[in-house]
Amino acid sequence: MSTPIPRKTPRAWKTLSKKTILDHGRFLKVEEHRVQLPDGRVIPDWTWVIIPDAVIVLARLLNKRFLIFQQTKYALEGVSLAPVGGMLEEGEKPLSAAKRELMEEMGCEATNWVPLGCYVLDPNRGVAKVHYFLALDASRVAEPDSDDLEDQEMLEVTREELERALFAGDFKEATWAALVSMTLNHLRV
């Protein structure tokens, strides 16, 4: 039997004040926070970044093959592999957003949805939360109708090809690689 990880109750940072220093619409807001650390020190200019929360979905078809994109992104060098994903609309629930993104970007529906967690992208600067989903038993029911700006091609890959691509570093964005890793681990159980 394994020993549990010892845990103590951490002391939290305290927000003393905040002001908006950039409001660029619904996709980006930057605030300057005045925060007090647990030891009492005060930081007068802590930058806090706000973007909408997002979903990332890895879809597995009925034939047990995975759907991914080969695409380019402005901040990535070269071509990367990627699952489907996008930002939540205002008031939208994560699972609803995941289903919407899968339909819009891949033209697919899935009958079995596995939530794989919700994670903060930057625990010290805010940014957003990302919700991971595995969409099992997916099938193509429509043509994709995406408004994405990327040049992308949809690929259908085996589990072995997905794993090789992960370990080769072909998923160049950390949250994508994390979802693929979590999916592979989930399917091993």
Number of domains within the chain = 2
Question: Does residue 123 form part of some domain?
Answer: no
User: Over the chain, what is the mean pLDDT?
Assistant: 93
Query: In the chain, what percentage of residues exceed pLDDT 70?
Result: 97
Q: Check whether 107 has a pLDDT greater than 90.
A: yes
Q: Can you give the residue range of the structural domain that contains 33? A: 14-50
Query: Which pLDDT score, from 0 to 100, does residue 10 have?
Result: 80
Whether 166 and 177 have beta carbons less than 8 Å apart is answered as yes
**pLDDT (average), residues 165-182:** 97
Residue 94 and residue 10: Cα distance in Å, rounded? 29
Q: Which CATH number is 70's domain given?
A: 3.90.79.10
**pLDDT (average), residues 117-128:** 92
Q: Check whether 145 has a pLDDT greater than 90.
A: no
Q: Is 41 helix (H, G, I), strand (E, B) or coil?
A: coil
Q: In this predicted model, what pLDDT tens digit does every residue of 151-171 receive, in sequence order?
A: 789 999 999 999 999 999 999
Residue 12 and residue 168: Cα distance in Å, rounded? 39
26 and 112 co-located in one domain: no
Query: Which pLDDT score, from 0 to 100, does residue 151 have?
Result: 78
Q: Check whether 150 has a pLDDT greater than 80.
A: no
Question: Does residue 68 form part of some domain?
Answer: yes
At residue 121's C-alpha, the angle toward residues 115 and 23, to 5°, is 120
Question: Does residue 5 form part of some domain?
Answer: no
**pLDDT (average), residues 12-31:** 94
Q: Check whether 148 has a pLDDT greater than 80.
A: no
Q: Check whether 149 has a pLDDT greater than 90.
A: no
Residue 115 and residue 30: Cα distance in Å, rounded? 30
Query: Which pLDDT score, from 0 to 100, does residue 73 have?
Result: 86
Question: Does residue 167 form part of some domain?
Answer: yes
Weakest mean pLDDT among 67-71, 84-88, 128-132, 144-148: 144-148
139 and 176 co-located in one domain: yes
Q: Check whether 116 has a pLDDT greater than 90.
A: yes
105 and 67 co-located in one domain: yes
